[in-house]
Structure 1
Amino acid sequence: MSESGMEGLLQRWRSLEHELGEAGVTMVAISKYAPDDAVAVLIDAGHRCFGESRPQLLRDRALRWPQCQWHMIGPLQKNKAKYVARHAAMWHSCDSVATAAAVAAHLDGRTLPVLIQVNISGNPDQHGISVDELPAFAAQITAIEGLQLCGLMAMAPHFGDVRPAFQAMRSLRDKMFDGSVGQLSMGMSGDFREAVEEGATMVRLGSVLFGELDIRNNRND
């Protein structure tokens, strides 16, 4: 990485860390499209929370940088469950009981924090369970030994006002956890400030953080 690229990354990280720290919100740096040297720059600067969508890459980076938390944020196939079970600090995208059971089978005695992904926009192209399915699904996940249900995750609609979706997610979280602390992972590069204002406890930032180092050319997540 060039010196200018490194300095730009660090400036963006410091600014976002300050802004989100003031709000008490955790930044999950979505490093799935970032090169290793960019990830290393953030780790050297003190960042410790990263998100990956490819289970093997999560495994590889967790083994290389065990001092960090590596969150699984993408769809998961059962045949890749062992990587998440052994190396993820949190699983954000749980939306299948069968896959959850496959993950639990590889936990080897450890506990894995889990967020249920809710398809809050009702978009058939997005992953996640429906709002109507949530109570029964949550009960099934809670019953699986080794998995600790600790909150919800969602993606906002691609178009239009994102606030109703974020408000609905906060209401679901509050109802599910009945006043106790539950994580709410919502908000990405294009809408994280609205998510923070509506109650997010974690935001997932890729392009707004990594900038030109994000190989998707600054797409919105």
Structure 2
Amino acid sequence: MLAVLGVVVLALGWWAFRHYGGELGAWRDAGLAKVRSAGPLTFFFFMSLLPSLGCPLSVFTLTAGPVFAPVLGMPLVLFLTLLSLALNLALSYWLARRALRPLFAWLVGWLGYSLPRAREADYLGLVFLLRVTPGPPFFLQSYLLGLADIPFRVYFLISWLIAGLYACAFVLFGDAVVHGHGKRVMLALGLFAVLTVTVQMLRRRYRARRESAAAMSPVATEEEAAQ
């Protein structure tokens, strides 16, 4: 079903490009110019703020390259993207751990649950698995990790590394698509593929280690009891 839907979307996109390519290009250029006129300071400020409130991060990462790379250069755009991401991660953690925690505690209690609290041995694995598992929105992942009392250092370093790699790939991809650079599109897609394969391998290794540790723990308990 998803494959059929994908083919339909591609076919509609091809048809629209064939018949309205000139108009779509003009609208695209006008939109990019409008965003560029607001200035990089405004753009990256909102990139630091709005994803903490539920705005998809991809709205900014797919736009940053084609809008600001021609005037700032791609290296600076990538640096500002990573900086904005770092500020957003810090803000989301503070909201979950401090500012909004009483509200979340009341809401969870009203639903009959209690706030999650991670064990120290699970800090690294929990952050990693949540960041690489598709489904939960980015801001919700940050809130859950903050509510689980994950130390900021662990939360920030792993989140920034994983999300930063994907964010840079999105910036490069968006710039390449808008400017019609076929080689750069393939390079960005290759980066996505490498990231995806690497993440899946790490997930499997982590799960295998967890399952092995879980299988060994009863044995260790019996040996301790015998002693």
Between structure 1 and structure 2, the one with the greater Rg is 2
- Relative contact order: is structure 1 or structure 2 higher (C-alpha 8 Å, sep ≥ 6)? 2
Would you call these one fold, judging by a TM-score over 0.5?
Answer: no
- Name the TM-score, length of structure 1 as normaliser: 0.24
Greater strand share, 1 or 2? 1
- Name the TM-score, length of structure 2 as normaliser: 0.24
Greater helix share, 1 or 2? 2
